[in-house]
Copies of this chain bind each other. A is one copy, B any other.
Amino acid sequence: MTDPRTSVITERLSGVSRIIAVSSGKGGVGKSMVASALALSLAKEGSRVGLFDLDFTGPSTHIILGVPANIQPKEDRGIVPPIFEGLEYMSLVYYVGDNPAPLRGTDISNALIELLSITQWGMLDFLVIDMPPGIGDAVLDLVRLVERIEFLIITTPSILAFEVVKKQVALLCELKMPIVGVVENMKLDKAKTVEVASLKLGLKYIGSIPYDPKVEEAIGNPKKLLDTAVGKSMTQIKKSAKNKK
């Protein structure tokens, strides 16, 4: 059964070559940080890039990038994302705001669908989506509504994070979703646990990002962010993101 809204969304995204959903089973693994750095880094080398923050559990890319409050989308037959640091930037935060009002499940779905249906991305090489964590309704909706979505999975070395990632991967495989690979963030040692476990799941292990205390200081400063271990690890990740499966 095809949702009629799928075709509207497909049309809106028709000028976008690749849609990379940066995703994690578990929160707090650095997903938004990696999504921001990936988008920045792709833009810096000349790709046309959009960054779309759909993490309704706590949108944070606007904090990570330091997007000033006066940078706002414009209305013009839909919503046109503002350009910031060479990116087309769009976030749920523009619509649900930074207020504490929680959204109930159907409101979240409606907000995501609405935003996907009205945003004018134009021609992009990459649309990087900062996904909600977990495998809840919002993730299922995005999988269902966004054709050609590909998943980049972020985990940490912690077995607690990876246990949740395994469930997420099982679900994505069941839904026949393409997975770009696994990135192991905040790595403190040389343990191969996640690498071995990823390969066992049939996934590409893209690489690890060393834990770097400078990342916290770089919040709000894109140039500093690209100079941290996260920013410097983007070479490998970009290479994988560009390889069409």
* Set of chain B residues within 8 Å of A166, measured between Cβ atoms: 100
Decide yes or no whether A171 CB sits under 8 A from chain B: yes
Among the 9-residue stretches A1-9, A73-81, A128-136, the one with 4 or more Cβ atoms under 8 Å from chain B is A128-136
> Are A219 and B28 CB-contacts (below 8 A) given A102-B140, A164-B58?
no
Q: Which chain A residues numbered 19 to 53 have a C-beta less than 8 Å away from chain B? A: 25-29, 32
* Set of chain B residues within 8 Å of A213, measured between Cβ atoms: 188
Quickly give the copy total for this chain. Answer: 2
> Are A60 and B163 CB-contacts (below 8 A) given A105-B105, A105-B137, A135-B102?
yes
- Which residues of A are interface residues toward B (Cβ below 8 A)? 25-29, 32, 57-58, 60, 63-64, 98-106, 108, 133-137, 139-140, 156-161, 163-164, 166-171, 174, 188, 213, 216, 219
* Set of chain B residues within 8 Å of A174, measured between Cβ atoms: 100
A131 to chain B, nearest CB (A): 13
